[in-house]
Structure formats: structure tokens, C-alpha cells
Amino acid sequence: MEIALTPMEFALRARRLYAESEAVVDGDLRFTYAQFFDRCDRWSTALQDLGVIPGDRVAYIAPNTHSHLEGYYAVPQIGAVLVPINYRLLSQDFEYIINHSGAKVVCVHPDYIESIDNIRDKLADVKHFVALEGTIKNWIDYEKALASHSPCFDPSEIKESDLITINYTSGTTARPKGVMITHRNAYMNAIGTLVHHYLEPGDRYLWTLPMFHANGWTFTWINTARGMTNVCLRKVEPERIFDLIKDEQITMFCAAPTVLISIANAPEDMRINVPRGVRLFTAGAPPAAATIEMIERELGWELTHVYGLTETAPLITFCELRPEHKNLSLSDRSQIKARQGVELVSSGELRVVDDEGNEVPKDGETLGEIIVRGNVVMRGYYNDPEATNGAIRDGWFYSGDAAVVHPDGYAEIRDRFKDVIISGGENISSVEVEGCLLHHPGVQEVAVVGMPHEKWGESPHAFIVLREGVNATEIELQHYVRDNLAHFKMPQWVTFVEELPKTATGKIQKFVLRSGKAGITRQ
């Protein structure tokens, strides 16, 4: 008899093998796997009593908490569909996503209940509102619901083609789109990650990455597959991260490059006695080689660059080091690690193609678009066949990422196509210019965007956060780029800012910089 490929199989195994192991740490709360799954099962029973049936959507708006993690098991194991929502959105965004997904139940952390109360009368399909912490008027008390229900829920048959989540894109240029991820998608992504990255039951994972972001890159389920400990982090702050790494003996975490930069540039006193050898994944934006080098040199951590999209469940490549890379200098090895790399064994096929659909030569220069097909590609966009047909053509998902392929077969993203700067007919990679500037000793963070130019059509504009106590001038930084890259890639303008606009997952919002609405002024 065939068994569906689903992350819920990881939970069955963990219940047997890791029942007494520590599953979750959330502040003062600590749960073993037996206790964690008892809570998940009780919430499954409660959801069924609320009328949730297979296929129904259950939305969550919460930071990285134990109750949020419980939703990744309690909801799908009864055949329902989890809708994790970016908690940093505005009320009108919540309204759109909740209504578009057709969620029957909305589970909310207290910090965001006011935002939902403000639109409650506009959420016609929602039958039940659940407060994940505390007792709040007109909201179901999550903990009381768990206490009043047994763990004996009515199991539902799960097909691997069933949806496990609907994950909404950021919607920076249009309405957010609901990415439909199946049980098979999530399972294959988890298995591929485990093939390429060794994890074991003694590992302790710190939740720096938002769980809502592509299901925490499926570490919501990967950690259970290996019987690891989940250490929750409700707010990303360098001091708190260092404290938890030391106090909870963290061995693994994931973070976007901007989070890595904040960690690497934290004051020296925060980093005292921080253990070396911590492993971490970075993705979400192409990391600069300088950032990778800084993390590995300054902290002695082992960084792995992975790449994917929400639409690919999410990981499709892994920049694995080959034997010949291990003898390189740290600087040269960081250049390799900054590439997106090669496909995971489970993710399917990746190509970089030109406008005619032909694969680009492996010369490290010719630009093409990354397209993928295989086990991790989404079913499509929820209730949006037009967008689905635009993104998936002839069985291939078109990523919108502009990349080259090196002679060794490793892909390297040069930009999003929408962020490629065309200046005087020359293509300029904003990622390349950013990487150059991050090597300057005075630059902590940088974002480069194309801005209108009378002569060249558009030219690079660099927005820069300087390191504390360091001074640098516009001319100095322009000359630095000019000395290290082709002259036409030099930023025509440099703006010094205190911080860059970012999404909840740490991606820099370049559209805000281009629009001039970032609340910054030219200096």
C-alpha cells in the first residue's frame, strides 16, 4: 500500500522515537515531543469541533511562537490548509489575504488582534477568531480550547496532491498571490535539504527566520524529521540572538543576508564567548561574498547559501562545496559560496535560458532567466489562473531571476530582471555593485537601484548605511567602485541613510528606494 508523501509522516516517526526529547523552547516554556504533539492533537480536535473540515483554510498571524509552530501540524493533519500570513502587513493587507484565501478560522497573536478587530466586519467568511495567547473579549482562548479538548481528533486521509499551505507573496508591485504548496512539495523540499545538509537529534535550531516565510523554508517540519529542538525567537535582535546561541547551545539557524550583516556588525561585547561552529543557511537575497567572509572569519560559523522562491516550496539550489573548493583561501571560497549553486537532488531540474528558451553557455557571463520544473514547484496561484499561466509555461516555472552559469555548472544570480540597470545600453547588476561596496571597510549595508539619468537613460544610485564611527564620502565610494569594476558601473549618486527599508524577512525593498518614499534625503 502506498503512503502519501507528507511531512505529517515525520510527526509519526518523531512521536515514537523522540517522545521524551525537548521539542520546543519558547521563553520559559519547554515542551517535549510528547507534550508538543499532545497540544497539536488537542488543537486538531478543537478545530474539528469548530467545523473545520478537509480543504478548509485556517489563517495564522503570529511571530515565531510555540502556538504558531503547533499550527503546522494541527491544521494539515486533519486535511485543512494552513495560511501563514506576514504579521508586519497592514490591516488592509490582512483583509485582502484572509478574504482571498477564504479562511474559516483566523488565529492571531495578541500584538495583531487590534488590526483584525478593525476589519472584523469585513471578513465575511471567517467563522471563528482565536487569540493564541491570553483571554480577550470576543475571541476564543487558545489555551482554554486546548485544555477542554481531548487529543483524540478524527484522522483524515491525506493525498500528497492535497494542499498543505497557501503562502502569500509580498505583493510589492501588485496584489499578493497565494502560492499553493502541496504535501508532496513540502515533503520533497524537506528530504532534499536533509540529503545535502547533515542534521541530527542533538541539534538545536534557533528560529531567526519567520515561520510564515515559505513555511520557515520547511524547517517547521525538517526539525521534527530529525528530532531537533526548536528554540523560538519572537523578535530578531542581535543581542537576543547571541544570548540564545550561548544559553540554549544553538547549533543551526537560518537568516537573510541583512540579518547576517546586523549580526556580524554587532558590538564586540555581545560576541564574547559565542561558540564557533554554528551552522547557518542564508537565502532570500543574493548574499555578498564580503558578508559570507565576515561571518566565517569573525565568528567561525559555517555558512551555506541556498536559493529558492515561495513558488518552489522553497529551496531549489544548494551551494555545496566540492573537494577542490576546501583548499581555497577564505576570500576565494566566499566568492564560490556567494553563488546559488546546483539543484538539490529532490528539487527537479534547473536551467538558465535566453529569450528563445535556449540554455546559456557556461561562461559565467551570459545572462539568462532561471527556470525550474520538478517536485517542489507549486500547484499554482490560488484562484488566479492568469497569474499561474504567466508563471508556469510548458511545465517550467519562470523565476524572474537573471543569472549566469559558471564552467563548473554553478548558477549565480546577477539580479532580478526588474532590478537590472540598463545604462547607455549596458546591463549593470545591482548585486555586483553592492558586493563591491560591501568590501569597503566603511560600508555596513548597501542597496543599489537604477534611477533616471538624462544622458544614459538610467544609472546606479547607491543607498548606504555606514559602519558606526566610520566616515566616507560620496566621491570616495564612487572611486572605490570605479577602481574595482568597469567604469560604467560606478554609482552616479550615493545617499547615506540610517537604515534601509526591509520586509519582515529581511529583503531590502528596492521599490521603496526607487519611489523616493523611504523617508530619506540625499546627503
pLDDT for the residue numbered 518: 52
Indicate whether 519 pLDDT > 50: no
Question: Quick one: average pLDDT of 324-336?
Answer: 93
pLDDT digits (tens, 9 = 90+) for 129-173: 999 999 999 999 999 999 999 999 999 999 999 999 999 987 555
Residues 140 and 240 in one domain: no
Residues 361 and 453 in one domain: no
pLDDT digits (tens, 9 = 90+) for 54-96: 999 999 999 999 999 999 999 999 999 999 999 988 899 999 9
pLDDT digits (tens, 9 = 90+) for 248-279: 999 999 998 888 988 988 888 998 899 999 99
Residue type, 190: A
- CATH code assigned at 454: 3.30.300.30
Question: Quick one: average pLDDT of 101-126?
Answer: 97
Per DSSP, helices labelled H in 168-252 are: 183-196, 214-217, 219-225, 238-247
How many CB atoms within 10 Å of residue 224? 27
Indicate whether 504 pLDDT > 80: no
Residues 331 and 388 in one domain: yes
Indicate whether 521 pLDDT > 60: no
Domain-located, residue 10? no
Tally of domains within the chain: 3
pLDDT for the residue numbered 523: 39
Domain-located, residue 448? yes
Please name which of 277, 284, 82 lies closest in space to residue 170, comparing C-alpha atoms: 284
Contact (Cβ atoms closer than 8 angstroms) between residue 167 and residue 178: yes
Residues 451 and 400 in one domain: no
**d(C-alpha 418, C-alpha 290), whole Å:** 24
How many CB atoms within 10 Å of residue 198? 9
How many CB atoms within 10 Å of residue 475? 9
- For residue 430, what are the domain limits? 420-515
Domain-located, residue 21? no
Q: Which of 165, 182, 199 is the last residue of a domain?
A: 182
Farthest-apart Cα atoms in the chain, separation: 71
Residues 264 and 398 in one domain: yes
Question: Quick one: average pLDDT of 167-191?
Answer: 89
**d(C-alpha 442, C-alpha 477), whole Å:** 9
pLDDT digits (tens, 9 = 90+) for 458-483: 899 999 999 988 889 999 999 999 99
Residues 263 and 350 in one domain: yes
pLDDT for the residue numbered 163: 98
- CATH code assigned at 88: 3.40.50.12780
Mark residue 220 as left, alpha or beta (left: phi above 0; alpha: psi -120 to 50; beta: remaining): alpha
Indicate whether 376 pLDDT > 90: yes
Which element (helix H / strand E) includes 483?
helix 474-484
| Mean of the per-residue pLDDT values of the chain | 93
Query: Which positions ≥6 away from 430 have C-beta within 8 Å?
Result: 415, 419, 420, 421, 447, 448, 449, 450, 460, 510
Q: Exposure string (b/e) for 287-313, b if CB count within 10 Å is 16 or more?
A: bbbbbbbbbbeebebebbbbbbbbbbb
pLDDT for the residue numbered 522: 38
Query: Which positions ≥6 away from 155 have C-beta within 8 Å?
Result: 77, 78
**d(C-alpha 508, C-alpha 501), whole Å:** 6
Contact (Cβ atoms closer than 8 angstroms) between residue 472 and residue 483: no
- Provide the grid cell at 451: 534611477
Residues 263 and 396 in one domain: yes
